[in-house]
Amino acid sequence: MSILGSLDLNDIFIVPFLKEPTLSTGIAAGAGGIVVLGALAVALWLTVKGWWKPLWSEWLTSLDHKKIGVMYIVLAAIMLIRGVLEAVVMRAQQVSPAPGFLSVEHHAELFSTHGTIMIFFVAMPFLTGVINVVMPLQIGARDMEFPFMNAISLWLSVGGAALVMASLVVGHFETGGWTAYPPYTGIKLSPNEGVDYWIWSLALTSVGTTLSGINFAVTIYKQRAPGMDLMKMPIFAWTTLCTAILMIFAMMPLTVASLMLALDRHAGFHFFTASNGGNMMNFANMFWLFGHPEVYILILPAFGVFSHVIPTFSGKKLYGYTSLVWATIAIAVLSFTVWVHHFFTMGQTAHLNAIFGIATMTIGVPTGVKVFNWLLTMWRGKLRFSTAMLFSAGFMFTFVIGGITGVMLANPTIDFATHNSLFLVAHFHNMLIPGLLFGMFAAVNYWFPLAFGFRLDEKWGRRSFWLWMIGFYLAFMPLYAIGLMGAPRRMAFFTDPAYFPWLVVAMIGALCVLAGLTSQVIQIWVSVKNRESLMVPAGDPWDGRGLEWSLGCPVPEYDFTTVPNITSREPWVDTKAAGKHVMDPTEFVDIHLPKPTGLPILVAGVATVGAFALIFEMWLIAAVCFVAMWVLVLIRSYDTDWEETITAEELREGYEAHKRLVETTPKVSLDDEFTSKNRGLILEEAV
């Protein structure tokens, strides 16, 4: 066997098009071309600007939790663009005259990559990034408990995403949807490398996510500021803790199931094949044992975001803190008890279906309570509709509709009539677009100054909100309707003319969403261009309530000059109520922060090359990479010179400088919150 395994010329993206030029192969070649040219253009741009060196030394090798978080979000943003574009192509395919311009296989690759990307390479990195930036600042920590492992998690996720991107250029992706049920994904029915792309990109990112979960949980357990007991923790830290626990326990079944599938495909095992004692029902079982807690991994951090954005922009204390904490814990526990509702139609007994259906409905109780809590937080407030607040309010309204259809689907007899239909597709988009994306968009708009020191442009932010909101309704309400009219999901084309007008509306919705995404790109561009007038160096640009707003923007590398003593749930509100705008320092001491290192990127790079080798059956290269990966980890283990010290004196200077800045910055009224007068320190009434 050749050292290049099963790789051959036909796997290169342009070759199938040259052999047989059709619109379908042309689109595939075009997409591959965009990836290659895009990568080249970025490389060229960095070279011309001379940014390689600063990029490497300040970002790629950084172990600073804020920078790692930002890089996670950049990854999510790049993949989000691809995911939305794929959705637009699929919508276009379904409104063009049947059989459309894509082959059935090509369409299948699109819905499979769309799902895989949106869950694993948009949602997961997005929330992991936001947690990374914000959570340590909220609990008074200077970094994650394991900064090196944090970087490993990031680069493993990047490696997984790189493999999905590589599938556009070399070979094919999987065609069995993001769930990849065997036996369809077995070696017999899917003999090409597509399923292996799915398996190994997920293997990389799921290991990364498990490590992230451990990191978040330990950070919260060990690094809280003195006095901050669990019931004084901000809600976002609570939702992070529950998400982290879910990550630790839920990613494992996915990793194991996908590795078992790999053994089935390449080592002649029969875990999931119909013959020799295998059973594909086990795959569905294990996949959803991961898959359902995953839904709450995705949604809990967004719940945390709303619990901060809504009080801040309502100028009011969060309603029902204790209620929210217990609701979060309840959701986390119950999320492990409902996974069978993803396959009510598999023929198990009625009792089993009924019990899992009812268990599913129990989750509706704490979730419903949460939405009421946010509503009561707004009640008797003074609401300011910033972009972040708009996304939060849009979430509350839209999410309730998804909740109604969710409880409907939880009834097994209704599920029989709507499973595998576009009704189901509409439902989960109705949960995840508001419940995850809107939350993350709100988080970025709200906490952006912490990372970069300036606010985001409000005008383009609000435009993006309305486009996303209207686009969502136009794109998915029609799918509810035609789902009830019997339209199955994953269909390359429909011949029933009754669906056509609905599909046209959905197409318009998809374009609207694309315009929303474009507005966000413009928003970033405009904000960077006007950053001088958007700067908020004194921090706290929204009359914030959490500990993170006691810091100057951007937050310095060491986060806190001194670790504050916590005596209440909202120490920053108390400080401001006492007429102060800097928290009293405690004790200045020397601190140690990890030095930047290129090892995480190397470890993950080698792991990614190894995974690519496994996809194309280059066993020798894979083995070499596996050994190299562990050698690199060993090298790190023997490295004793990995810390740098920031002296107490430097910290004191940092504190004094911030204090002087705060004292000289004029206090601004909330009326000027979204104007260039806002240099931080916004207050209800100007002093």
Partner 1 sequence: MLFHDIYKRPSRYAVPALMAVTAVWLSGCAENGVMTPLGPVAAGERSHLISFFLWMLPISLPLLIGTPWIALRYRRRGGKGKYDPNWSHSVAAETAIWGGATLTFLIVGWLTWGHVMGEDPYKPTGKDPIHVQVIGSEWKWMFIYPDKMATVNKLVLPQHTPVEFDITATGAMQSFWIPRLAGQIYAMPGMGTKMNLTTGDTTEIFGFNSQFNGAAFPLDKFEVDVVTKDQYDAFLQEPKHPWAQLEAAFKKTATWSGPELFEPPMKDYWMKVMMNPSIATDGGAAILPDNSPAQKDIDKAINQDLHLSQLNGGAQ
Q: Is 413 in the site for partner 1 (CB under 8 A)?
A: yes
Minimum separation from the CB atom of position 540 to partner 1 (A): 17
**Is 503 within 8 Å of 494 (Cβ atoms)?**
yes
Q: Is 396 in the site for partner 1 (CB under 8 A)?
A: yes
User: Which residue, 64 or 109, is less far from partner 1 as judged by CB?
Assistant: 109
How far is the C-alpha of 31 from the C-alpha of 650, rounded, in Å?
50
Q: Is 46 in the site for partner 1 (CB under 8 A)?
A: no
Q: Is 383 in the site for partner 1 (CB under 8 A)?
A: yes
Pick the stretch among 121-129, 210-218, 272-280, 299-307 that binds partner 1 (CB under 8 A): 272-280
How far is the C-alpha of 216 from the C-alpha of 239, rounded, in Å?
11
- Residue 511, SS3 per DSSP: helix
Site for partner 1 in 574-633 (CB under 8 A): none
Minimum separation from the CB atom of position 458 to partner 1 (A): 10
Q: Is 269 in the site for partner 1 (CB under 8 A)?
A: no
The residue count for the chain:
687
The sign one gets for the Cα dihedral 220, 226, 230, 232 is: negative
Task: Indicate the residue type of 362.
Answer: T
How far is the C-alpha of 108 from the C-alpha of 131, rounded, in Å?
33
- What DSSP string runs through 520-556? HHHHHHHHHHTHHHHB-TTS-TT---SGGGGS-SSPP
Q: Is 488 in the site for partner 1 (CB under 8 A)?
A: yes
Helix axes 350-378, 387-410, angle to 10 degrees: 160
Omega of the bond leading into 183 within 30 degrees of 0 (cis): yes
Minimum separation from the CB atom of position 167 to partner 1 (A): 14
Q: Is 252 in the site for partner 1 (CB under 8 A)?
A: no
Site for partner 1 in 273-302 (CB under 8 A): 274-275, 278-281
How far is the C-alpha of 368 from the C-alpha of 412, rounded, in Å?
21
Q: Is 404 in the site for partner 1 (CB under 8 A)?
A: yes
Which of 379, 567, 580, 620 is in the footprint of partner 1 by CB under 8 A? 379
Minimum separation from the CB atom of position 183 to partner 1 (A): 6
Query: By C-alpha distance, which of 395, 465, 463 is closest to 430?
Result: 395
User: Which residue, 395 or 612, is less far from partner 1 as judged by CB?
Assistant: 395
Pick the stretch among 29-37, 201-209, 374-382, 604-612 that binds partner 1 (CB under 8 A): 374-382
Which of 5, 7, 13, 24 is in the footprint of partner 1 by CB under 8 A? 24
Q: Is 231 in the site for partner 1 (CB under 8 A)?
A: no
Minimum separation from the CB atom of position 128 to partner 1 (A): 29
Query: Residue 429 carries which DSSP code?
Result: H
Task: Indicate the residue type of 382.
Answer: K
User: Which residue, 388 or 622, is less far from partner 1 as judged by CB?
Assistant: 388
Site for partner 1 in 54-83 (CB under 8 A): none
Q: Is 675 in the site for partner 1 (CB under 8 A)?
A: no
- Residue 411, SS3 per DSSP: coil
How far is the C-alpha of 459 from the C-alpha of 386, rounded, in Å?
9
Pick the stretch among 48-56, 207-215, 346-354, 591-599 that binds partner 1 (CB under 8 A): 346-354
Q: Is 417 in the site for partner 1 (CB under 8 A)?
A: yes
Query: By C-alpha distance, which of 500, 507, 506 is closest to 485?
Result: 500
Q: Angle CA(421)–CA(426)–CA(432) in degrees, nearest 5?
A: 130
Minimum separation from the CB atom of position 163 to partner 1 (A): 19
Task: Indicate the residue type of 485.
Answer: M
Pick the stretch among 155-163, 370-378, 560-568, 594-602 that binds partner 1 (CB under 8 A): 370-378
What Rg, from alpha-carbon coordinates, does the chain have? Answer: 25
Q: Is 523 in the site for partner 1 (CB under 8 A)?
A: no
Q: 412 vs 113, 192, 589, 614, CA distance in Å?
A: 29, 36, 60, 40
Contacts of 601 (CB under 8 A, 6+ apart): 60, 61, 151, 155
User: Which residue, 35 or 376, is less far from partner 1 as judged by CB?
Assistant: 376
Q: Is 665 in the site for partner 1 (CB under 8 A)?
A: no
Site for partner 1 in 457-486 (CB under 8 A): 462-463, 466, 473, 477-478, 480-486
Site for partner 1 in 83-122 (CB under 8 A): 98-99, 103-105, 108
User: Which residue, 55 or 358, is less far from partner 1 as judged by CB?
Assistant: 358
